Structure 1
Amino acid sequence: MTLIETLAFVRPGSALAEAMVKRAEILRLSQAAHDAVLLPREPGGLSHGLRAALAARMARLNRSSALARHYDTLVARAGEPTTAPLADPDTNATDVRTAEIIRHADRLTVAPREATRAHVDALREADVADPDIVRLAELAAFVNYQVRVIAGIALLGGMR
């Protein structure tokens, strides 16, 4: 069972579980995207702990507590105690670079249409390299996709 199926509470043997079998490739690709975005071999300037904390934060902003708990376990596994508090949307960083990353991650989660080139320029001014700006956008896109897919599948599971 994939993370999406687990967090959407798809019951084994249910009609929804049987329907999900027909979408196995999409679920497999979603799991692969999870691993690539959250646990890449080369994390660049966004450590595994920071990625997980941002993902947990995005899940909380989307009111997806089960997904947030999943990402909290990745934060703990990363062993980066300074990133753990960032999983709470009420917490900010004290250093300029991380604060700007958080601000942008929050924006991409709650108001993505408001993101502008000026926001990307602000990331650059805060010493966030272009590849890390792309990595941050990928992370936000994936987590927000994941929240919506889990919510949709959970709703289908509740219908009979």
Structure 2
Amino acid sequence: MRAASRLGQALNARAEILRLSEAAHDAVLLPREPGGLSHGLRAALAARMCRHVGDEALTAHYESYLAHASDLDLATLARPGGVCGDSLHDAMARHADLLTLSPREATRQDIAALKTVGVSEADIVRLSELAAFVNYQLRVLAGLRLLKEVEAR
């Protein structure tokens, strides 16, 4: 198959998308500088977002990262509605819920509420990046599952 063919170009593009998606996964879940979102907190919030959508496989993926977290209180945040009693973490969990369930309803007041409890602007960006990636990943996987179902017919 020639690399310049349409199929070759599509396969090359797909490989690049997969590479970039994996790099984004690692950057939002396991960054070198996690700021106020520890790796464990990121895993808990990602699992929580996946549970909202009902994706058991992706939930298990993120919970596997949570299993290595040293802060056991974060496990409660991995479940929708779960709180750990830390106002910062609980506010971030509520914001992750909002960005997953009804992102169009997010307003400046929601950002102000995060700042009020002490979430820094940099951590708000980190949280938004995490939510954007996990929700992108959920949508891609849902689309791939639909394609698989159609193909099986």
1:1-160 equivalences in 2 (<5 Å): 23-160=14-151
What is the CA–CA distance in structure 1 between the aligned matches of 2:20 and 2:91, rounded to whole Å? 30
1:11 is aligned to: none
Percent identity between the aligned chains? 58
Can you give the 5+ residue segments of structure 1 that lack an aligned partner in the other structure?
1-18
What is the CA–CA distance in structure 1 between the aligned matches of 2:11 and 2:87, rounded to whole Å? 44
SS at match of 1:23: helix
SS at match of 1:83: helix
State the 1:155 CA deviation: 1.2
Q: TM-score, normalised to structure 1's length?
A: 0.84
Can you give the 5+ residue segments of structure 2 that lack an aligned partner in the other structure?
1-9
State the 1:21 CA deviation: 6.4
What is the CA–CA distance in structure 2 between the aligned matches of 1:67 and 1:120, rounded to whole Å? 27
What is the CA–CA distance in structure 2 between the aligned matches of 1:79 and 1:116, rounded to whole Å? 33
What is the CA–CA distance in structure 2 between the aligned matches of 1:21 and 1:87, rounded to whole Å? 36
Matched pairs, number: 142
* Structure with greater Cα Rg: 2
Equivalent pair of 2:77/2:90 in contact (CA under 8 Å): no
SS at match of 1:77: coil
What is the CA–CA distance in structure 2 between the aligned matches of 1:122 and 1:41, rounded to whole Å? 27
Q: Deviations over 1:39-78 (max 9, x none)?
A: 0001000000000000000000011111000000000122
State the 1:97 CA deviation: 1.4
State the 1:22 CA deviation: 5.1
Q: TM-score, normalised to structure 2's length?
A: 0.88
Equivalent pair of 2:29/2:39 in contact (CA under 8 Å): yes
State the 1:38 CA deviation: 0.3
What is the CA–CA distance in structure 2 between the aligned matches of 1:159 and 1:21, rounded to whole Å? 24
Greater shift, 86-95 or 148-157, is seen at 86-95
Runs of 4+ in 1 over 3 A off after TM superposition: 19-22
